[in-house]
Chain A
Amino acid sequence: MNEGPPTPPPPTPPPGGGGGNDRAREKPHLPASGEGGRNRRLRLKASRALMLYRENGQFKTTYAADQQMLPIRQDQLFMVALVVFAFAVVPFIASDYLIRAILIPFLILSLAALGLNILTGYCGQVSLGHGAFMAVGAYAAYNIAIRVPGLNFLVVLVLAGLAAALVGMIFGIPSLRIKGLYLAVATLAAQFFFDWVFARVKWFTNYAPSGSVSVPNIELFGFVLNTPQRKYLFVLAIVALFALLAKNLVRARVGRSWTAIRDMDVAAEVIGIRPMAAKLSAFAVSSFYVGVAGALWGFIHLGSWEPLAFSITLSLNLLFMIIIGGLGSILGSFFGAAFIVVLPILLNQAPTWLGIPMSTSMISHLEFMIFGALIIFFLIAEPNGLARLWAIGKEKLRLWPFPH
């Protein structure tokens, strides 16, 4: 683990006299002119910069220190810098469009992908119904908000998450008997059922004649979330909190029981993990996350929505996110969400940037094609997702300039 930094070759010429053999061997490598020397110093400087990412000298003397979330100091600094940047810098430099159309959807979908990743990536249970659980969260939040006026939105969020968790647990019951493709169909039932419920049962939409619902701006501790910046900060705070929680949940006792079930259910049962408790808790936690994400999606991102907003397409997109980002990785959920949010916008804009005249329908068709092709490409090229690429990059950096 803690190998020292590689000693760079001495820049000074070896002392004269003695070891003539050595000198003869080294001579061709020495800088012949000032030009070569500068290049070499530049390279050395670059290698020093890359070698900043080293963990030697960071000795762990307690178990607690050995088990902390980010064991390498550079990672801790990076994370702190990232959080500070996201909270304190982004709201001031990002344009309204960037926040509204990219950052807020990205954060909310990251939360949803995180939820699905807990279930599919950590516990190994496939779900095609998470769009529906998002809908449950959104409609639960809507109904609580209009039926109990004046309730704090944070409480509404938690209640919406709990409602989604309950529904998720009910549709998770089949997972006790089936898995894989069969489970995918069982959760597909949830998707179509809730599509129908929210379109048809008038009570859920508060008897709105058009079937779509709209919500007012949220007021929180005297602040009205009416500007993109405020909405962004609120969503960011929630997502950061839940990501931290998830990161710690998956390495806690319950999270390890999920992983055990995923890796081999029979073996997990043999060592004393109760499959029912593990699976249903994974469904509950996952649906809770997704329900909260759904409520945020409805209240903060959409503002007004109809049942179609949570259709099967959303479920599939969530699955794409965690596969492209990386199954069983908290970070991967964020990568995947970023990919899925940004890619269509890029594909939409690309013809304009390139100056190729193209009709809108043509663009949307091409978008579908490229999207499908990219998904296949990712599955083949890196089945473990972007998070794996990130991990490989970090590993390479840690050992640089040696390949191993």
Chain B
Amino acid sequence: MVILAWLIERLVLRPLVNQEAIALLMATLGVTYFLDGFGQTVWGSDIYKINLGIAKEPVMILDRLFQGGILVNKEDFVAAIAAAALVAGLALFFQKTPTGRALRAVADDHQAAQSIGIPLNRIWVIVWSVAGVVALVAGVIWGAKLGVQFSISQVALKALPVVILGGFTSVPGAIIGGLIIGVGEKMAEVFLGPVLVKAFDLAGGGIENWFAYMLALLFLLVRPEGLFGEKHIDRV
């Protein structure tokens, strides 16, 4: 993952330094296309299973607190713990370590960061590696639950509304945003879906496909910096 991150940084993004954001966005989309094709060429497009060695049988928790309890998959437990550990680790990394602070400085202002002696090239590789490793963990957990296939790349698009909701500069914000969007879209599907179906005579629900984006859109109108983001945004 680190090697891949280094390659992407070196081959794709380094030559594009100082280009507009849209060019970078398109370049990473190009990377997506390339890796999609590359992966399917090398490994085929079958659905793989990852066995993480975690038992999948559900366990009953909280049944002492109230009648019935809650059934939870052990795998979900592990995923939640992994996410929590990552959040704690990343938060510490960004707040306390010199490298983490350097990353934030670069995010704030390239030129200022460079002028005080932060090596931009190294920082960019680190950023890509960290992002790659986090995405790797997310991918492995997702793959273990739902099978490894190339449509996983669609999941990444949904990360955008999550970070907008939580705020772009906040690690805990990403988790809260993820929870709001994850829970929100399922709730919307269950509670809002039937109402919509009845009102507009729809051919079935499926509103979870767009709910996250609409939520992010509303949020952008009301609070563009997100829930926990710094109030520092390109205002028009």
- Whole-angstrom distance between the alpha carbons of A180 and B224 in the complex? 12
Report yes or no: A193 in contact with B213, Cβ–Cβ below 8 A.
Answer: yes
* Residues from chain B with Cβ under 8 Å of A374 in the complex: 30
Task: Choose the segment among A10-18, A59-67, A231-239, A375-383 that binds chain B (4+ C-beta atoms closer than 8 Å).
Answer: A375-383
A369 touches B217 (CB 8 A): no
Q: Could you say which of B161, B204, B205 has the most chain A C-beta atoms within 10 Å of its C-beta?
A: B161
Flag whether A25 is at the interface (Cβ < 8 A): no
Set of chain B residues within 8 Å of A368, measured between Cβ atoms: 33-34, 36-37, 40
In the assembled complex, which residues on chain B have CB atoms less than 8 Å from the CB atom of A175? 236
In the bound complex, what is the Cα–Cα distance between A7 and B202 (angstroms)? 76
Minimum distance in angstroms from B15 CB to a CB of chain A: 4
Q: Which chain A residues border B32 with CB–CB below 8 Å?
A: 372
The reply on A179 being an interface residue by CB < 8 A is yes
Asked whether any CB of chain B lies closer than 8 Å to the CB of A390, the reply is no
Chain A residues with CB below 8 A from B157, complex form: 188, 312
Shortest beta-carbon distance from B125 to chain A in Å: 18
Q: Is B236 touching A275 in the complex (CB atoms < 8 A)?
A: yes
Known A126-B22, A185-B213, A265-B236; contact A201-B200, beta-carbon cutoff 8 A: yes
**How distant is the Cα of A126 from the Cα of B41 in the complex, in angstroms?**
32
- Interface assignment of A93: CB less than 8 Å from any CB of chain B: no
Q: Which of B178-215 contact A (CB under 8 A)?
A: 200-207, 209-210, 213-214
Task: Give the complex CA separation of A312 and B201 in angstroms.
Answer: 25
Q: Which residue of B lies closest to A369 (CB)?
A: B37
Chain A residues near B34 (CB, 8 Å)?
A: 368-369, 371-373, 376
Contact A186 B21 (CB under 8 A): no
Chain B residues whose C-beta falls within 8 Å of the C-beta of A265 in the assembled complex: 236
Q: Which secondary structure dominates where chain B touches chain A?
A: helix
Decide if B33 touches A186 in the complex (CB within 8 Å).
Answer: no
B38 at the interface (CB under 8 A from A): yes
Q: Are A180 and B21 in contact (CB under 8 A)?
A: yes
Contacts of A379 in B (CB 8 A): 16, 19, 23, 26-27, 30
How many A residues, CB 8 Å from partner?
A: 52
A111 within 8 A of B: no
Asked, given contacts A189-B216, A192-B209, whether A365 binds B40 with beta carbons under 8 Å apart, the answer is yes
A interface secondary structure, majority: helix
Q: Please choose the segment from A69-77, A295-303, A315-323, A396-404 that sits at the chain B interface, where 4 or more of its residues have CB less than 8 A away.
A: A315-323
A373 to B221, CA, bound (A): 36
Given known pairs A185-B160, A366-B37, A383-B19, the reply for A179 and B26 (CB within 8 Å) is no
In the complex, the answer to whether B203 meets A199 with C-beta atoms within 8 Å is yes
Give bound CA distance, A179 to B23, whole Å: 14
Residues of B within 8 A of A275 (CB): 236
Distance, CA A291 to CA B25, complexed state (A):
25
Query: Would you call B216 and A186 a contact (CB within 8 A)?
Result: yes
If A192-B213, A361-B45, A376-B34 touch, whether A177 touches B224 (CB-CB below 8 Å) is: yes
A residues near B220, Cβ cutoff 8 Å: 174, 177-178, 182, 185-186
Q: Is the CB of B21 within 8 A of A181?
A: yes
**B12 contacts the other chain (Cβ, under 8 Å)?**
yes
CB-CB under 8 A for A189 and B214, given A323-B26, A372-B36: yes
Residue-by-residue, is B148-174 near A (CB-CB < 8 Å gives 1, otherwise 0)? 000000000100110010000000000
Taking CB atoms, residues of chain A closer than 8 Å to B160 are 181, 184-185, 188
Cβ of A179 and Cβ of B37 under 8 Å apart?
no
Contact with A along B40-59 (1 / 0, CB 8 A): 11000100000000000000
Please report the C-alpha to C-alpha distance between residue A202 and residue B199 in the assembled complex, in whole angstroms: 12
- Tell me if B209 and A375 are in contact (CB < 8 A): no
Complex interface: chain A residues within 8 A of B27 (CB): 375-376, 379-380
- Residues from chain A with a CB closer than 8 A to the CB of B22 are 120, 126, 180, 184, 319, 323
Known: A199-B206, A200-B204, A201-B202. A323 touches B23 (CB 8 A): yes
C-alpha gap A193/B45 in the complex (Å):
28
Distance A203 CA – B11 CA, assembled complex (angstroms):
49
Q: Bound state CA distance, A186 and B204, in angstroms?
A: 25
Q: Are B26 and A375 closer than 8 Å at their CB atoms?
A: yes
B35 touches A (CB below 8 Å): yes
- Pick from A200, A365, A372: contact of B203, CB below 8 A: A200
Q: Does A362 sit at the interface, judged by CB under 8 A?
A: yes
The list of the 8 closest CB pairs from A to B, nearest first, reads A368-B37, A372-B33, A372-B34, A369-B37, A189-B213, A375-B30, A192-B210, A365-B40
Query: 6 new A-B pairs (CB below 8 Å) besides A193-B210, A375-B26?
Result: A126-B25, A189-B213, A211-B203, A361-B45, A371-B30, A379-B16
26 contacts between A and B (CB under 8 A): A120-B22, A177-B221, A178-B236, A179-B236, A182-B233, A184-B160, A185-B213, A188-B213, A196-B209, A201-B201, A201-B203, A275-B236, A362-B41, A365-B45, A367-B37, A368-B36, A368-B37, A371-B30, A371-B34, A372-B32, A375-B29, A376-B12, A379-B26, A379-B30, A380-B16, A383-B23
Binding site for A on B (CB under 8 A): 11-12, 15-16, 19, 21-23, 25-27, 29-38, 40-41, 45, 157, 160-161, 164, 200-207, 209-210, 213-214, 216-217, 220-221, 224, 233-236
